[in-house]
């Protein structure tokens, strides 16, 4: 059992050495893109919600 666990962690370490990690600038750029798109989606959903709310008040 201990051999299997040890083998698992050796495999994990071997695979992690093959990972291409982003640079700090790439990470910051990706973060800005995600935050910007999340903000735009929030604004879009707010506007749609306000329009639907207005329409429902007129209907009811």
Residue ranges per structural domain of the chain: 24-60
Give the sign of the dihedral formed by CA 26, CA 31, CA 34, CA 35.
Answer: negative
- Confidence (pLDDT) at 4: 92
Q: Residue 58 half-sphere exposure, CB side, CA atoms within 13 Å?
A: 6
Distance CA 51, CA 60 (A): 14
- Confidence (pLDDT) at 1: 87
Q: How does pLDDT run across 9-57, given as a tens digit for each residue?
A: 999 999 999 999 999 999 999 999 999 999 999 999 999 999 999 999 9
State the pTM of this model: 0.65
């Amino acid at each position: 059992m201990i051999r299997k666990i040890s083998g698992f962690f050796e495999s994990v370490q071997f695979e992690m050495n093959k990972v291409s990690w982003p640079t700090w600038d790439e990470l910051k750029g990706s973060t800005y893109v995600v935050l910007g798109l999340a903000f735009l989606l929030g604004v879009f959903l707010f506007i749609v919600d306000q329009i639907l709310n207005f329409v429902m008040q007129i209907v009811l």
